[in-house]
Amino acid sequence: MNIPSLPKIELHLHLDCSLSYEVVAQLRPGTSREEYERDYIAPENCASLDEYLKCAQEPISIMQTKEQLEAVTLDLFEQLKADNVIYAEIRFAPLQHLELGLTAEDVVRIVDEATSKGIKQTGVEAGIILCTLRHFSEEESLHTVKLVDQFKGTNVVGFDIAADETLPIDNHIKAFEYARDHEIHCTAHGGEARGPESMREIMGNFHPSRIGHGVRSIEDPELLDDLKKKNIHLEVCPTSNVQTGIYDKVAQHHINEIYQNGNSLSVNTDGRAISNVSLNEEYQKLNQHFDWQLEQFKRVNAFAIDAAFCDEKTKTQLREKLLKGFK
């Protein structure tokens, strides 16, 4: 099986956690490889999700101008092309990029225009998901979801909540209500730092069609079956789950059991730099540890297309590419 040649869909991918050494050296000349590995890559086994998230602070500091945001976005498209990704959804929190005078609208417009350019240059189709963060205020969350609404018809396709899952959800209920009222596609991080109760809380209050990670649903068979019944897609990121301490190593991951239960799921990197992994490498790990073959990879990519936030015309084109590539 030639994994690099397989067409792939990536739905869970953080822009600010995916800066290659090349783009960091371009934006911050003089950065050594050693400094890059220290500041942009998380340890293989972090003490907590919080330690993992702290590694996003350095990249965010060099994503504050039009030139920086453009460079980082276009760099990510080159990484996607190298993995033969045919469609990706790239997520970030626009309110984290206002330190040097850009407005949130400026930030979204810049990343949207760079995404259009990246699509044209690489042939990789892509959408953008705007994130609110758990520690944001109700006002900041509403501002973020309204940006998704404002940019309808562009590459912006959805809304997410990320960051420290142990924080309360109260500030974000209105934003997700707004999303439902305005038919905005939603995903939400959960079932990572906290167990099944976190996912039930998200499902009961946010009603997303996808959950970022969600792997701890395996701890509650009833929840796992409920996810399957409601067709809630799980965006699984194996290497990242090891780094944040859910598992000691990928060989212990429960992705195979979740797959065998018949749940809709996809395979993703989460953050290509912070997790120091490509999508090709994620696939190789699943092949090595769980003997995943063409059948499994084809099926999870088909699940990903069904769950993607793009339009039906794009989904039809992606399914054709997938079938062709897996022949």
Q: For residues 76 and 10, what is the distance between their CA atoms, to the nearest angstrom?
A: 12
Query: Residue 57 — pLDDT band, cuts 50, 70, 90?
Result: confident
Quote the pLDDT of residue 123: 97
pTM: 0.97
Rounded distance, CA 305 to CA 315, Å?
6
What is the structure's pLDDT at 308?
98
Share of residues in the chain with pLDDT > 90 (%) = 90
Record the tokens describing residue 231, joined without a space. Answer: 């067709």
Q: In the predicted model, what is the mean pLDDT of the chain?
A: 95
139 is catalytic: no
Q: Could you read off the pLDDT of 161-216 as tens digits, one per residue?
A: 999 899 999 999 999 999 999 999 999 999 988 999 999 999 999 999 999 999 99
Please write the tens of the pLDDT for every residue from 70-98: 999 999 999 999 999 999 999 999 999 99
- Helix boundaries (H) for 41-163: 49-54, 57-61, 66-82, 104-122, 138-150
Q: Calculate mean pLDDT across residues 95-124.
A: 98
Range 289-316 average pLDDT: 98
Average pLDDT on 126-147 reads 98
Kindly state the average pLDDT of the residues 24-50: 87
Instruction: Provide the edge-to-edge strand list for the sheet that holds 233-236.
Output: 8-14, 85-92, 125-133, 156-162, 185-190, 210-213, 233-236, 265-267
Q: Strand, helix or coil at 228? A: helix
17 burial (CB, 10 Å; 0-12 / 13-18 / 19+) is buried
- What's the pLDDT band for 47 if we cut at 50, 70, 90? low
What DSSP state is assigned to residue 95? G
Q: Which of 10, 58, 89, 192 is labelled catalytic? A: 192
Say yes or no to pLDDT of 219 above 90: yes
- Give 190-197's long-range contacts (Cβ < 8 A, gap of 24+): 190/165, 190/214, 191/215, 191/216, 191/217, 191/234, 192/49, 192/165, 192/216, 192/241, 192/244, 192/246, 193/48, 193/49, 193/164, 193/165, 193/166, 193/244, 194/165, 194/166, 195/219, 195/220, 196/220, 196/223
The Cα–Cα gap between 6 and 238 comes to 19
Distance (Å, whole) CA 85 – CA 140: 32
- Other residues' Cβ atoms within 10 Å of the Cβ of residue 103: 11
> Tens of pLDDT along 16-28?
999 999 999 999 9
3-state helix, strand, coil split of the chain in percent (to 5) is 55, 15, 30
